[in-house]
Structure 1
Amino acid sequence: MRVHFIAIGGSAMHNLAIALHKKGFTVTGSDDVLFEPSVSRLAKHGILPEANGWYPEKITADIDAIILGMHARVDNPELLKAQQLGLKIYSYPEYIYEQSKNKTRVVIGGSHGKTTITSMILHVLKAVGRDFDYLVGAQLAGFDTMVKITNEAPIIVIEGDEYLSSPIDRRPKFHLYKASIAVLSGIAWDHINVFPTFENYTEQFSLFLDTIIPGGAVVYSETDEVLKTTVINNKADIKKVPYHLPAFEIDRGVTNILYNGNKYPLLVFGEHNLLNIEAARLMCQELGIAAADFYQYITTFKGAARRLEVLADTETGNIYKDFAHSPSKLTATINAVKTQFPDRKLIAVIELHTFSSLNKSFLNEYAGTLDIADEATVFIDEHTFQQKNIEPYPVGILKSAFANNNMQVFNQPGALLAYLENIDLNNTNLLLMSSGNFGGINLNELTDKLTKKAEHI
């Protein structure tokens, strides 16, 4: 098979390219901008484009499949050439389905927790020695790539994003996988540039249930009332398996799951992670793994990258980095840290970076999300407004939207860094939340500085 990737540098795209290359396919690709780690990883496998840019002459009639990434535009010259030649054009979720038609397709969907639940399932499947393929949205410890596609594995575990599939396919990605078994973690309005109303967004999850194969199953959080109503009211011919919080205790900063008289100490914490664990357990149960075995193996799960990732762990205070950016994720992450360390001061810093989070009509969704933090800061890099062509708004609008007049607001990385460098970690946790990069601030250097200062107090 010969496949060509238009916009090969994307996170999922370059991982799929590597997976197909490992499978023996002839893989080529193009992109106008390539960043690390895509560059090094593509180069390692000999499939890095020779030069950046779009080259329609690469598109020839002997190509079996074109895989089109979201970064490409509808007027992309390579896409236009492929359409002119009548080549088969796939979005990457379409192609994942093409490569997994004969497998049990486990699809993890929901507005939050997808990457973590997927990672937990992969961690346990690997521990019990099962053969499986996968697609996950983060680089995981112990896994070389974010995508694995083989002929042999009977199962594929897929993180099912609800965002659009490609520039020419406006269907949500998770609709295209035709799940055999699915998880839905919750529904919290997101991607408002695509789904302008909450009702429109919620509808995508009901439509997803209709894509599950007849006789399949969905594992869903009954703690989310919107999701619960959506699942119960759906008429699809599928088994519906609800989950909720397991029995647990927090002992000296460690969360233990309580099951059948045994304690299972975890390396992760927070009620959102306990719910994620139950979703993963029930999915693994559907795949034939007993609860006691699951709980034993999950005790060694360290978490997915940028999900309450520990940058520093000192005797008096910790520093965490988290991907949280939507209101529901923000609330869950802040609650988790405060509940785990109730006697420590919590300083929460959130960067608004996505289109939805910066949209003035969406800002009010953040009301009250920072209230549990002892000290709250919101950062918007002034360049982000320019990049997304959004008109900046005054500090007063932000404080009103968050319903928090005490929070600090920064719009320049230098000013934010100066504030962060003065934090005292004595009996204090610092929580840094963003899907961006805080204007390029080096968090490792910041962590080193704060921990050295703490050692001398």
Structure 2
Amino acid sequence: MKTHFIAIGGSAMHNLALALHNKGYQVTGSDDAIFEPSKSRLEKKGILPAELGWFPEKITADIDAIILGMHAKADNPELLKAQKLGLKIYSYPEFLYEQSKNKTRVVIGGSHGKTTITSMILHVMHYHNIEVDYMVGAQLEGFDTMVHLTEENDFMVLEGDEYLSSPIDRRPKFHLYQPNIALISGIAWDHINVFPTYENYVEQFEIFIAKITNGGILVYNEEDPEVKRVAEAATNPIRKLAYATPKYSVNDGVTLLETPEGDMPIEVFGAHNLNNLAGAKWICQNMGVDEADFYEAIASFKGASKRLEKIAEGKGKVAYKDFAHSPSKVAATTKAVKEQYPNRTLVACLELHTYSSLNAEFLKEYEGALEYADVAVVFYSPDAVKIKQLEEVTYEQIATAFNRKDLIIYTNPTEFKDYLFNLNLDNSALLLMSSGNYGGLNFDEVKGLIE
């Protein structure tokens, strides 16, 4: 099968391109910017575009499928040529559905926790040598790619993102997968540039539940009031399985999970991650892994990349980085680190980097999000605000929104770095939360502060 990717360089897109190449498909692609690690990985397989840019001449009548990435615009010259030729054009999620329509589809949805839960499921399957197809939003230890596709595997495990499918398909990605088994971990308003009201955002999850195949299964977090309400209100013919945070304790910086066989030390920590683990257990059990085998495997799960990832540890010092940026994720992550290290000073640094977090109206959602931090720091780049073409966010608006008198705010990357590198981190836990890099912070240099 001959496939062409418009915007092949993206994190998700290049992983799908690699998966199709590995499956034996003929893969070509274009993009106007390709960064590492996408560049090296595509080059290694011989599918890196020879030059950057868009080339309508690449679009020929013998192409079986065009896969359109979110980075491309609706007036992309290659897309216009494909439309003119009447070629079959797929969004990323549409194509994944095509690849999995004859399999049992397991879709993990939720405003937060979906990458971690998907990663936990894949870790358990990998541990027990159970082959499954998958798509996950982070690089996992022991896995070459974030997408894996075969003809023979029975299951396809998909991380179900609620963001839009493509520039010409404005449906949320997880509406296209039609799960046989689905999970919702939490609902907390996000992506306000696409879903302007909370009600509109919640509606996307109601539609997701309605898309579960008849006789399918919905696993849901009953501790989230909105998830519980939406799940229990659903009337389609599906089986519903609720989960909640299991009992656990923390002893000398080690989290012990209560199991039928006794207390078991685990690598991940924090109530939100234990809650994620409970959801993953239900899913694995419905995929044929019994409870004892699940516990055996999950004990060695260290977490997904950038999800409460330990970057350095020294005597009386530790540093973590986390992808957390929405208010609920920031609150859960800071609470988890404080609970794990109750006798240390928690220095929590949050970068406001997304459309939602840089929106003056949305900022008030962050009130209390850093309450568990002993030292709370917020960084944002006025340049990022300009690039996203948003109204300028002021120092005063941030201070008011977080409603914390001792909040430290930086807008200059150099000044933030100077502050960080002059901190006394003895008997402390440093937490860096961002989907960006604080205007160019080198995380390897941060290790030097700790080790």
Task: Specify the TM-score bucket, using the shorter chain as the normaliser.
Answer: over 0.9
For residues 264 and 103 of structure 1, what CA distance do their matches in structure 2 show? 34
1:417-443: CA deviation from partner (whole Å, max 9, x where unpaired) = 000001222111110000011111101
Letter in 1 for 2:426: N
The answer to which of 380-389 and 212-221 deviates more is: 380-389
Q: State the shift of 1:247 in Å.
A: 1.7
Structure 2 stretches lacking a partner, 5+ long: none
Which residue is equivalent to 1:201? 201
> Which residue in 2 is equivalent to 1:284?
284
Residue matched to 1:187:
187
Measured in 2, the distance between the counterparts of 1:172 and 1:236 equals 20
- CA distance in 1 between partners of 2:414 and 2:447 (Å): 16
- Separation in structure 1 between the aligned mates of residue 351 and residue 101 of structure 2, nearest angstrom: 40
Corresponding position: 1:159 with 2:155: no
> For residues 353-385 of structure 1, what are the alpha-carbon distances to aligned partners after superposition, in whole Å with 9 as ceiling and x for unaligned?
000110011000001111111110100022111
1:251-266 superposed matches below 5 A: 251-266=251-266
Q: For 2:450, give the aligned amino acid.
A: T
The answer for the alignment partner of 1:233 in structure 2 is 233
Q: What residue is the counterpart of 2:273 in the other structure?
A: 273
Instruction: Report how far residue 230 of structure 1 moved.
Output: 0.5
Displacement of 1:451: 2.4
Q: Which residue of 2 aligns with 1:455?
A: none
8 Å Cα contact 2:318/2:450 also seen in 1: no
Residue 216 of structure 1: how far off its partner (Å): 0.4
3-state DSSP class of the match of 2:357? helix
| Residue number in structure 1 paired with 2:65 | 65
Separation (CA, whole Å) in 2 of partners of 1:10 and 1:245: 35
Aligned residues: 451
TM-score, structure 1 normalization: 0.98
1:216 and 2:208 aligned: no
User: Is 1:314–2:314 an aligned residue pair?
Assistant: yes
Say which SS state the counterpart of residue 275 (structure 1) adopts.
helix
Deviations 1:129-152 (A, max 9, x none): 111010000111100000001101
Which residue matches 1:128? 128
Residue 388 of structure 1 is matched in structure 2 by 388
Paired residues for 1:127-146 under 5 Å:
127-146=127-146
Aligned to 1:354: 354
Once the 2 structures are TM-superposed, how far is the Cα of residue 405 of structure 1 from its aligned partner?
A: 2.1
Residue number in structure 1 paired with 2:323: 323
1:100 CA displacement: 0.6
SS in 1 for 2:263: strand
1:277 Cα offset (Å):
0.4
1:23-68 alpha-carbon deviations (Å, 9 max, x no partner): 1111000001111111000000000000000000000100000000
Aligned counterparts of 1:194 and 1:140: Cα–Cα separation in 2: 29
Counterpart of 1:444 in structure 2 is 444
Give the Cα–Cα distance (whole angstroms) in 2 for the partners of residues 190 and 254 of structure 1.
Answer: 32
Q: What amino acid is aligned across from residue 34 of structure 1 in structure 2? A: I
Query: What is the letter of the counterpart of residue 305 of structure 2?
Result: A
Tell me the distance in 2 between the aligned counterparts of 1:317 and 1:202. Answer: 40
Tell me the residue number matched to 1:426: 426
CA positional deviation for 1:391:
2.9
Q: Does 1:3 align with 2:3?
A: yes
Could you tell me whether the CA contact under 8 Å between 1:119 and 1:136 is conserved in 2? yes
Amino acid at match of 1:254: V
Corresponding position of 1:79: 79
Q: C-alpha distance in 2, partners of 1:422/1:282? A: 46
Q: Distance in 2 between matches of 1:273 and 1:446?
A: 25
User: Aligned partners of 1:401, 1:309: CA distance in 2, in Å?
Assistant: 28
Deviations 1:60-82 (A, max 9, x none): 10000000000000000000000
Q: Within 2, Cα distance between the matches of 1:50 and 1:319?
A: 40
- Deviation, structure 1 residue 315: 2.6
Mapped to 1, the partners of 2:82 and 2:269 lie a distance apart of 48
Q: Deviations over 1:328-363 (max 9, x none)?
A: 100000000011111111010000000011001100
Alignment partners' CA distance in 1, 2:311 and 2:131: 33
Instruction: Give the AA of the match of 2:119.
Output: S
Task: Name the SS of the counterpart of 2:9 in structure 1.
Answer: coil
Deviation at 1:123, TM superposition (A): 0.3
Residue identity matched to 1:412: N
Q: Distance in 2 between matches of 1:180 and 1:105?
A: 5
Cα deviation, residue 447, structure 1:
2.0
Where structure 1 has 5 or more consecutive residues not aligned to the other structure, the ranges are: 453-457
Q: Is the 8 A contact 2:319 2:450 kept in 1?
A: no
Q: Which residue of 1 aligns with 2:52?
A: 52
- Offset of 1:235 from its aligned partner? 1.0
Q: Which residue is equivalent to 1:299?
A: 299
Q: Percent identity?
A: 58
Q: What is the alpha-carbon distance in structure 2 between the residues aligned to residue 177 and residue 61 of structure 1? A: 28
Cα distance in 1, alignment partners of residues 273 and 369 from structure 2 = 18
Match of 1:110 in 2: 110
Letter in 2 for 1:119: S
CA distance in structure 1 between the aligned counterparts of 2:235 and 2:440, rounded to whole angstroms: 48
Find the residue that maps to 1:218 and give its secondary structure: strand
Q: How far apart are residue 295 of structure 1 and its match?
A: 0.9
Pairwise CA distance, 1:259: 1.3
Contact 2:3 2:28 in 1 (8 A): yes
Distance 1:261 1:446 in 2: 40
Residue 175 of structure 1 contacts residue 211 of structure 1 at CA under 8 Å; is this kept in 2? yes
Displacement after TM superposition at 1:261 (Å): 3.9
Relative to the length of structure 2, the TM-score reads 0.99
Residues 165 and 171 of structure 1 are in contact (CA less than 8 Å); yes or no, is this contact kept in structure 2?
A: yes
